[in-house]
Chains A and B, each alone.
Chain A
Amino acid sequence: METLLNVAIFLPLVGALLVAVIRNEIFAKVASILIGAVVALISLVLFVNFDFSKKGFQFETYVPWIKTLGIGYHVGVDGMAISLILMTSILFLAAYIWSWKIEDRPSLYFALFLALETACIGVFAALDLFLFYLFWEGMLIPMYFIIGFWGHDRKVYAANKFFLYTFFGSLFLLLGIASILVYGYFETGKISFDYFFHLGLDYPLWLELIAFLLFGIGFAVKIPMWPFHTWLPDAHVEAPTAGSVILAGVLLKMGTYGFVRFSLPFFPEASKYYIPLIFTLSVVAVIYAAMMAIAQTHMKRLIAYSSISHMGLVTLGTFAMNSDALNGAIYLMIAHGLSSAALFLGAGFIYDRIHSYHMDDLGGLARYIPYFTFAFFLAVLAGIAFPGFASFVSEFLILLGIFEKFPVWAFVAGIGMVLGAAYSLYMFRKVMLEEESIPEERVEKWKKLKDLELHHAIPFALIIGMALVMGIYPYPFVKIVEHTSKLVFGG
């Protein structure tokens, strides 16, 4: 089992090298899909074999690496990590299949995505701060080129903005890591990057307060929390469809993952101390981003703002200091990864067919592409936390948890959810239904539109299928997520 986890991390990287060297279009596509499928299968096997009744991390591998600096190759997963890895691998598989028809430099495209997959899975599995940072930064360059090469009109601007914002966060994260390392060094006389070494240390309050902020800036940029969010709409609008899927589905979760994995257990006192700050920023994100979403006419921009809004809900749940809310937050990371990915797939499909994201150019599509309409409708339902989908379970848990101690905040967050339903349904109506406003010549054009093809249908089925399974039969997922909140709160 331990080996399988390592294979899941490094198989995509090996694949990336192969694809980049062989430079054959068909090979690149087939190999990527195969590797994606193998990795998804491995994560499923790991997920099924994960014993959530046992405390602590599982499938651990530890190999000493740089001894003088106390750096080791240390990977392992808990409930949160394994479920995020499962989601990641499924989203990547969906992204590979979706990109079946890509024509522009396919070898490079798939090589970058494969490299990105290694970095993403690595982030979720790393139990060594050095290794974590390595993977954390490792996703920067592939994503930069994915946006920069295959993006739309303002791709250079968006790619640079993405890079600089994220790099800004990473530098503070690095400073944070340095500061807790120094404390560890003064306390025990040795430098160690190991997760458990730092978990065992009791930091003084002043250090917690500083280090929490330093880590927090790093994570907040990635999530993104208001006011660090402005890179996200640009990056999403300009990124190619598969890039948006990974960006919204996986990269954003790294920030909230970091909060749960590092900030909460390392700095418990500081986490309590900063609750007002985090709550304010989160609620502003929830409401403000939802209002911004309502004002958009660009589909991708709307979905991007809805992501910010949902991530605000995740941070709310994370810092409610309540195991229900934390369970819900982790659950929402996965649920939102799936639902936003499905929505971006929908937007991407429409762009492929009609070459526009603007709602003014769309309308009344339901009559001409019924299968797609069905899939997109399911995606919208998943996005607005309709019962039966994963996000329903998670948002319910979050609100339940927050309500216990912070009823007012829970009420405000609830408003955000109502707004979420409003803008999502508004988008669906505008794009798919509203037939009155479309001119004649468009109808002629849209009669010739092709409906979903196989390489569109499979990703939709994978993602929405998983969201449905998690919504209808949440028991194993909630159990596995609870494994983490028990670790964090020590219950």
Chain B
Amino acid sequence: MNWNAILPEAILAIGILTVFILELFLERKHYKFLSVLAFIFVVLSGYSIFFVNYPAKLFFDGFSVDALNLIGKLFILAVTGFVLLSSYDYFSKKNSQYGELPYLYLIATLGLMVMISSDNLAIIFTGLELASITMYILVGLFRREYLSKEGAFKYLVIGTTGTSMYALGSALVYASSGSMVLSPVKEENTLFALGVILIISALALKVSAVPFHFWTPDAYEGAPTPTTAYLSTVPKIGMYFLFVKLTMYLFSAFPDWKYVVMLLAVLSMFYGNIVAYAQKSVKRLLAYSSIAHAGYFLTALTAVDKHLFSALLFYVFVYALATVGAFTVLAILEKKEGWTHHFLDFKGLKEENPVLASMLALFLFALIGIPPAAVFLGKLGIFFGLVKTDMFALGILFAIASLISAGYYLKVIVYMFLYSGEVRHGQTTVSAGEAFTVLGTAFLVIFFGLFPHVVLDFILRALS
């Protein structure tokens, strides 16, 4: 057996155990060390990806490694690393530093990595559940706060519905095709169609597409901000890698799958963008923006096309970087006394914290899709793919939706820069980890905008 293929997962698992055991013995003041240790394991695991021989299959073909899911793992680990570094200071300032935190992040990441590297619907389910259950705990980590509990409960109830839909869907697929393993098949019967629709709905729920989005705003708002950063990015990357794989090998066997995805995409784009205007809290606004982005991403899953998929995966990754950056800025600001993320708190932020305000503005401009930030290239790539696959109308809807979105991102920028503040919240401290995350993501967002081929070429090559 080729053990080398699970090197990244193995290192991560060792990391989880190490952090877990150390947490039992260490005192509270050393918890920062645990985050850093977890980060080191993430880096090691990411580094080990370069030594994996691919393609490879092991565990009776239950676990497979190819170029595409290695790229996915690298993306997941990179974003996890940023989140880990940004998290420790926030929790210690909030006086709720739990030692579980670092290894919970790692477990969720491990689950996602397993999920994207299997071709077997049952094993995908295992990975999905490992990640989901961990994330319910992560959301509810502020166990003394009502919002956090409410968010976790909603997420648990709705998320479980999602996983059971997935389970039922894969059972139906198994019933009609006789196999749990993904392979290019052509099946046209009602049972199969129902199975596909159920699986699509389950994934749509996990990526918070309308009408399965109800958990998103509450879970995002209730969760501790670094966890929100994690929740809105890392699982999304995993989900879209899975979505791409399933679209290629499963959904496309049911020709009408594209109308289902199209409907989800259009609903999410417009619902997310329009409801975002009604929000008073910037954190909640970003939650709705992620619903809208789910819509943008789903537009790319309406056809099997390597350009669409590569644009999508690139887009998801740079979106994740920009979002982690934005949430980290929010986390830094939240350390101020009495900070609530309400728009009024952001009034005149440039006078108090010019650097933080500019950074947040940079991430927001990036999310609008202004070049040279990389998100713009994702948009261009998806436009290109949509025109190429004769879905021009969807491209126009996409353009209109992203125009609508510009307004609420600008609203935050206007409050920070163009109004002067009345309430003073005083200064806040920026830890080394947070500074690294904010500057690192900002740098990467611009860098990938100017030199996208650094990752785009690999994705394209892996897909073709």
A residues engaging B (CB < 8 A)?
66-69, 133-134, 137-138, 140-141, 145, 148-149, 155-156, 159-160, 163-164, 167-168, 171-172, 174-175, 177-179, 181-182, 185-186, 191, 210
Contact = CB atoms under 8 A, between A and B. Distances in A.
Contacts of B456: 66, 68-69
A61 B252 CA distance: 45
Nearest to A172: B399
B410 interface: yes
B384 A149 contact: no
A137 B371 contact: yes
B371 A155 contact: no
B418 A164 contact: no
A300 B24 CA distance: 71
Given A149-B417, A155-B418, A171 B372 contact: no
Contacts of B418: 148-149, 155-156, 159
Interface in B390-407: 392, 395-396, 399-400, 402-403, 406-407
Given A137-B371, A167-B368, A178 B383 contact: yes
B383 A141 contact: no
B442 to A, nearest CB: 15
B380 A66 contact: no
A167 B406 contact: yes
Contacts, number: 81
Nearest to A181: B384
Contacts of A145: 417
Nearest to A186: B388
A163 B399 contact: no
Given A137-B371, A174-B399, A175-B396, A148 B417 contact: yes
Contacts of B451: 66
7 contacts: A69-B453, A159-B418, A171-B399, A172-B399, A175-B395, A181-B387, A182-B384
B387 A138 contact: no
B167 interface: no
A175 B403 CA distance: 13
Contact of B403 (A67, A149, A168): A168
Contacts of A177: 380
B241 interface: no
Q: Which of B370, B406, B407, B460 has the most CB of A within 10 A?
A: B370
A175 B399 contact: yes
A164 B387 contact: no
B407 to A, nearest CB: 6
A182 B383 CA distance: 10
Given A149-B417, A174-B399, A181-B384, A69 B452 contact: yes
A163 B406 contact: yes
Contacts of B251: none
Given A68-B460, A178-B387, A179-B387, A160 B453 contact: no
B250 to A, nearest CB: 27
Nearest to A148: B418
B379 interface: yes
Contacts of A167: 368, 370, 403, 406
B370 A137 contact: yes
A191 B406 CA distance: 29
Contacts of B402: 171
B388 A164 contact: no
B365 interface: yes
A133 B370 contact: no
B460 A178 contact: no
B463 interface: no
B457 interface: yes
A160 B399 contact: no
B371 A134 contact: yes
B414 interface: yes
Most buried by A among B371, B372, B414, B417: B371
